[in-house]
Structure 1
């Protein structure tokens, strides 16, 4: 007789796969504890009949076999890919047939779209554009004739363009229907963005179309492979703004996968490292990508492609040509007769040389310092070691290991003695010791990185008191520790930094951004944009109880933006990870540079606590300044999620919160030359931290707050934080 007791349920597994140019990395993460369960690396299968899909499947099968789970245990599966990025970089895009809809002035405006054929991609290739006009969109025969005209010229994908389609898209829809009848992929500008600006809108749609055929083929191959493997979880794809989207949405807007590589790393820092305010550096062998997390949010901007601005909202990432493999440049090679010129931009990978610090000690015996020209046209001042064992590159990784800054077990770790041996000829040439030479190299290598970090901190107004610096990527330990020391910022290397990108893919939330130009937007308009963003992530499988929507209203540009994020399932973290009282107070005290016993608790919910203290401004005139309440919102894991240096905290109950909030906003609104300025507002409601700080109109603010509060029980606690705007 069989045992009636069912076997214990397995924790669901979240799988993230990052398809790089050379390797495909896959990780498995526990959906309960977020702990890394396993990781694999396989070559990216560019040349396989199934393209990169074969590498994805190989990585998935090997990963599940390694950790001993079945396809049924996978509750979430997402992948990031560089395919769209590479297509634009290499000029490997489809021929685009633009159908311009309209008569009169609209037709004249559309005619200028032919100039999109002059847009140069990073490869130097021009965007392949064919053009036809449609003057009678109400005629299906005319629409079909226009589509056929560009097909006859070689178009492989169609773009429908009409000057004011954001208001009335019927003309563009006629073109889409005609393209569908010819079984050709197509996109329309009103599907890409609802913002005005014909040129920028058409440019974004054309780039989206250019990568569409290749991405559709890949999506089909990956989806069929996943189904054959028995994975029932919906397949998600990494976006360029740090979230993921469903496969149907990716088919619709494949351009959103462009630049998703850096976004995956930031998602790993945000979700895995719990960064709420800081700078994330992802360091590879040749370069470092630098981006910002402010108040728990990644920072996004419209990006440039082909040297022109688009409506693609992507992570604001700055790239510096310094990585773990960057080579050292010197003047001269004689004892004490050389000086350090620069570090990079060429790397060991470009020169085809192994890192000196990873050589066998015997290979470095009798090594002498020489200079080379890595590529034709480069200066011949790149320093390498030459010995009977061959040539070896002197790199930033060598310097970091020689300086003792790479921790035990790190991906970039080398034997300290070998690294120091490698730097001895350089130290002799520079007239210093090994430690001095290593630090000279690291200081010069981080010059440009520190400039970019400083600019980002200033641009986004990061609070240096709580700002952290987190390093990811295989070369994280070669740049981040020294840079943090140099800039006096709290720096750390992310756990499993070498797989931070696939980790970010595995942990990322479903995300959607909706932008609308609405002159004189009413409360109903703002709420409608919010609802549209929320519905978009609901449609992609987000759990309705876990969706957060941040709304920003820019009255100068008449721009309303809503960004919705949510998990595909409600992830309840293992309660064993809950921080105790001492750990919570220690985390807050550290961020305030105070003692734990100095802190006051201003409010608390089941998920959050609000702690802080009152201070006057420092400096010689501080005693004349106004006292300010400095607060930190800390979650149940002891992570500071929100900070303010001038806040007021109130606790209400949901059933009476609308009226109470209205009174508080009125009381704390200040008046100046620019009119009424309400406070920045955040709400703690159950598991949500609702950010309303981007709304400057008190009416809009209260309408959005009412939407959030209406979803809570009447007796449920609502904590309100208000910050005076400066």
Structure 2
């Protein structure tokens, strides 16, 4: 650790809370070189606990002076998990100029919809009735924690949203989130969902940030703290408290940026093989591709800018199950690997050896509030007895349809499975040594006889299937991006499996050649390099420190903010609309475009500065949309003009 003893270095502390482990790295911010790293199990019931353990592990390393840490970057799954689990503040919603369709679920606890709103050209649809608005505010503000306000076409004119915000502040003093502040994209349902989810997440991210900040300050780390966003960039904690919804999918985004940085590439495909899933991202010019229409989280369609990540339910902790006929299945369910469970739970190895079973369940250390009688019976048994086989549960717990109640408790993050996984296979092969090799051997020995295989043959089949599945997912993503859709059916599956060499055919051979280099990150990435290279016909790079790529991305990425302005020509006038300024009208197109450029550049620079950026670069692009007809100008008329700006800056160090 002599490199840590060199004084005067500008060091970064990167932290990532993943599905299985929380990683921490110390990195030389100038050289982008990892100097130290540490891991701790992710504590799903309270992410801050695992985070503190990982940070303690790295701060205790010999030679590290915390005064040399100039920047902290944190990537967290908290926002995504909280949305999926339905957690957060009670939200009231006021909609202006629209009403939801019957099948819309927006996530609010109380709602009122009032007159007002604007047209697509930013002009007022109808005046807002302030008497009606006062009644709505008084009704909705009672019994909630925060208010979301969403007006029709507020991205082109936020006047009505701003009026309601002032009224809510006067009447209740509750926090208010306006849709136009979070996104400039159209789509009233998606923009409203974005505002409601942001409101729900505020207390959750507040608590998490307080825990992180308090823990670091107690340990002498006084550097600025940045939070990773889902689009592959950073923001300071003040901005994260205001716009927590922007942290959804921050984990996958951090993996894509970390992989690119470690490999030293700008255009590449990053594959992150994690415990729960495998994430695939395409990067252009050093940044991940962004979902054009906004991120989807479970049932929620949002307008949040987030990485266009292709996620496959396959990871190091995916469960391997072999039935009595010798058919092997790689399941999507995440379980604790046998090899790690043997280290975590006293007596588990003996129980595994004597039970003759590979599949167990265990309770998380939680209090079990909110469970019904059947759920409580199952949960209490597991909490009292520790890891238990399915056979034990069927004998001792009076629950009919056990599978259904197990699924409910797993969905509530109350219990987790234990079973044979690819991680155990890596222990067996000697490629990963964090747990009990003996437990992995027992698990394989219980399954392989029905397939008539040796341990090594069984292990090879598992690893080949994982490599083939990952290769298939890369091919699928390329087809979707280039072709726009993925054909369905057994014939398509056969072609994919043949192309990725997942199956052998006597009659056809298909060879794939991917034209970009692939970067593999995640703890097991190095194991699959040669097999993925053979299947995809391209170089696969697994950089040094690939197992902590997410944590590297969390601290080494830039700050990025975007904004746009739209200009609508009408009656020989040019109307300039945005989500952040009042509408303005000009007589000449050059005036309108010039004003829009200045407006959007100033706004995006201010947002970047507020997010903590220094050395800011702003790029503005003007896109003239033309159509045929009307008053002809060389055969075409300008129907609208989009002025887009992107600010890229560096975090403070």
> Do they superpose with TM above 0.5?
yes
Shift of 1:21: 6.2
Contact 2:227 2:234 in 1 (8 A): yes
Equivalent of residue 547 in structure 1, options 611, 617, 621: 617
Residue of structure 2 equivalent to 1:634? none
Report Cα offsets for 1:442-490 as digits up to 9, x if no partner. Answer: 3333444222201223444599565222222234345555333332332
Residue of structure 2 equivalent to 1:493? 542
| Matched residue SS, 1:168 | coil
Contact 1:244 1:509 in 2 (8 A): yes
Cα distance 1:434–1:216, how it changes in 2: closer, same or farther (>3 A)?
closer
Determine if the alignment matches structure 1 residue 201 to structure 2 residue 191.
Answer: yes
Shift of 1:303: 1.4
Cα distance 1:499–1:551, how it changes in 2: closer, same or farther (>3 A)?
farther
Which stretch shifts more, 81-90 or 173-182?
173-182
Distance 1:22 1:8 in 2: 33
Determine if the alignment matches structure 1 residue 349 to structure 2 residue 347.
Answer: no
Determine if the alignment matches structure 1 residue 91 to structure 2 residue 86.
Answer: yes
Determine if the alignment matches structure 1 residue 14 to structure 2 residue 6.
Answer: no
> Whose strand proportion is higher, 1 or 2?
1
Cα distance 1:554–1:202, how it changes in 2: closer, same or farther (>3 A)?
farther
Unaligned runs of 5+ in 2: 117-125, 362-389, 391-401, 405-416, 484-511, 570-588, 627-639
Shift of 1:243: 0.8
Determine if the alignment matches structure 1 residue 164 to structure 2 residue 153.
Answer: yes
Distance 2:109 2:223 in 1: 38
Cα distance 1:421–1:199, how it changes in 2: closer, same or farther (>3 A)?
closer
Equivalent of residue 291 in structure 1, options 281, 303, 323: 281
Cα distance 1:483–1:373, how it changes in 2: closer, same or farther (>3 A)?
farther
Q: Give the count of matched residue pairs.
A: 521
Determine if the alignment matches structure 1 residue 310 to structure 2 residue 381.
Answer: no
| Matched residue SS, 1:311 | coil
Shift of 1:245: 0.7
Aligned residue runs from structure 1 range 570-585, under 5 A: none
Cα distance 1:186–1:470, how it changes in 2: closer, same or farther (>3 A)?
same
Shift of 1:259: 1.4
Shift of 1:213: 2.6
Shift of 1:244: 0.7
Distance 1:231 1:305 in 2: 34
Contact 2:360 2:418 in 1 (8 A): no
Cα distance 1:286–1:470, how it changes in 2: closer, same or farther (>3 A)?
same
Unaligned runs of 5+ in 1: 1-6, 120-125, 333-337, 379-390, 571-726
Shift of 1:248: 2.2
Shift of 1:500: 1.9
Aligned residue runs from structure 1 range 422-441, under 5 A: 429-431=450-452, 434-441=455-462
Residue of structure 1 equivalent to 2:636? none
Residue of structure 2 equivalent to 1:537? 608
Report Cα offsets for 1:124-162 as digits up to 9, x if no partner. Answer: xx653433537699898876654332122x221111222
Residue of structure 1 equivalent to 2:407? none
Aligned residue runs from structure 1 range 665-704, under 5 A: none
Distance 1:183 1:58 in 2: 38
Shift of 1:66: 2.4
Determine if the alignment matches structure 1 residue 443 to structure 2 residue 526.
Answer: no
Contact 1:327 1:347 in 2 (8 A): yes
Shift of 1:498: 2.9
Residue of structure 2 equivalent to 1:511? 560
Contact 1:514 1:532 in 2 (8 A): yes
Distance 1:201 1:401 in 2: 47
Aligned residue runs from structure 1 range 56-455, under 5 A: 56=51, 59-60=54-55, 63-101=58-96, 106=97, 109=98, 111-112=99-100, 118-119=105-106, 127-131=108-112, 133=114, 146-152=136-142, 154-181=143-170, 182-223=172-213, 226=216, 231-301=221-291, 302-332=294-324, 338-349=325-336, 354=341, 376-377=402-403, 393-400=419-426, 406=431, 429-431=450-452, 434-455=455-476
| Matched residue SS, 1:91 | coil
Report Cα offsets for 1:568-618 as digits up to 9, x if no partner. Answer: 258xxxxxxxxxxxxxxxxxxxxxxxxxxxxxxxxxxxxxxxxxxxxxxxx
Tell me the TM-score normalized by structure 2.
0.67
Distance 1:97 1:162 in 2: 14
Shift of 1:237: 0.8
Shift of 1:328: 2.9
| Matched residue SS, 1:100 | strand
Contact 1:235 1:246 in 2 (8 A): yes
Distance 2:52 2:455 in 1: 47
Residue of structure 1 equivalent to 2:397? none
Residue of structure 1 equivalent to 2:369? none
Contact 1:509 1:568 in 2 (8 A): yes
Shift of 1:201: 1.6
CA-atom RMSD in angstroms: 4.4
Tell me the TM-score normalized by structure 1.
0.61
Shift of 1:510: 1.1
Contact 1:212 1:254 in 2 (8 A): yes
Contact 1:325 1:355 in 2 (8 A): no
Residue of structure 2 equivalent to 1:30? 28
